[in-house]
Amino acid sequence: MRVLGIETTCDETAVAIVEERLGFDGGEILANEVMSQIARHAAYGGVVPEIAARAHIEVLDRLILRALRDARTDIAGVDVIAAAAGPGLIGGILVGLTTGKALAMAAGKPFVAVNHLEAHALTARLTDGIDFPYLALIVSGGHTQLVAVRGVGAYQRLGSTLDDAAGEAFDKVGKMLDLPYPGGPAIEKLAADGDPRRFDLPRPMLGRANADFSLSGLKTAVRQELLRLGEEPSETDKRDVAASFQAAVVDVIVDRVRAGLRLFAEQGASSPGAAGSPRGLVIGGGVGANGAIRRALTRFCAEAGLRFVAPVPELCSDNGAMIAWAGLERFKLGLADNLDFAARPRWPLDANPGVLHHGKA
């Protein structure tokens, strides 16, 4: 089975073609085209929805043709069309969703509307073939949450951010430090030469029984430290602030994952049909490319005797391959959609319709 996936929920225009590998775990990516819009939004310090939507329109048809060429096929050689239907920026969603529907109708192919968060949660099955159930940490510019993934369409949100998403916090701190957008990669680079112990920044929610996140207070604490340093902090000051901020985020994430694993076990034991210890921890979302976070979670999982699956950075950030794979998983379970499926700028993952499907799909 071959699935063409379209992703336009934010500022990456992406198209991919994924094929199921019969007899093997995971799938094969035949094409994965991504057009970034970072240069268009950098001057504004964040994504401008109207600019993002127009940029998707300008390049999407060319990316589809390039993906088909890379996969050495044409639309007739594709079995299913999948498109992200949310959550995200409504203008961008409409571009990709309408294009996917039009392709499906013109080519007479089945259509699958994909939840962008579900795609992040299932990427580890594409890359590593991990079996259900597992715990997914989704960290990006718009989302920070821990989800018990018990099957395709069977998700239980164990914790989420009460204010800023992790990527949003990185971007805002990056702006305070006069770093280029996006802030995450710039902070990680600056932090590499900084002292993470110089500034005693708070670790919000640390030790709480729930698995929620809160990063707004940490961001405010960084601002206060910068105010104390004066109008023109030195480069050493900036490196140390970046390193201290990143270390605080890492500590919070590890602690929240620990709480999430505890809730996973407790709620699985009390819910019929949801039993089973997690087979691993998987990470998705653009912040999942951060090396310090990956290293800390690798150590944590090694100590806990838990498998850690971190897809390559380009599959953590928004991409078409994850949409295509989620579409493949859903279609195999008979979860195709009608062409009147509406775009959903808000679409909680635990409200995703589907079926409880344990084991391999």
Arch. (CATH architecture) of 2-129+317-351? 2-Layer Sandwich (3.30)
pLDDT of residue 269: 61
CB neighbours (10 Å) of residue 89? 22
Angle at 128 between CA 122 and CA 134, to 5 degrees: 50
pLDDT of residue 359: 33
Residue pLDDT tens, the chain, 361 long? 999 999 999 999 999 999 998 766 789 999 999 999 988 998 888 899 999 999 999 999 999 999 999 999 999 999 999 999 999 999 999 999 999 999 999 999 999 999 999 999 999 999 999 999 999 999 999 999 999 999 999 999 999 999 999 999 999 999 999 999 999 999 999 999 999 999 999 999 999 999 999 999 999 999 999 999 998 999 999 999 999 999 999 999 999 999 999 999 988 665 555 557 899 999 999 999 999 999 999 999 999 999 999 999 999 999 999 999 999 999 999 999 999 999 999 999 987 544 433 333 2
Q: What is the pTM of this model?
A: 0.94
In which element (H, E) is residue 34 found?
strand 27-36
DSSP labels for 166-188? Answer: HHHHHHHHHHHTTPPSSHHHHHH
**Where does the chain hold its CATH 3.30.420.40 domain(s)?**
2-129+317-351, 134-306
Q: Name the superfamily (CATH) of residues 134-306.
A: ATPase, nucleotide binding domain (3.30.420.40)
Strands (E), 47-131: 80-86, 111-115
pLDDT of residue 198: 98
Q: Is 54 exposed, middle or buried (0-12, 13-18, 19+ CB in 10 A)?
A: middle
Q: Which residues contact 177 (CB under 8 A, 6 or more apart)?
A: 186, 187, 190, 226, 238, 241, 242
pLDDT of residue 26: 87
Q: Which amino acid is at 170?
A: F
Integer Cα distance of 8 and 96 in angstroms: 5
Q: Which amino acid is at 184?
A: G
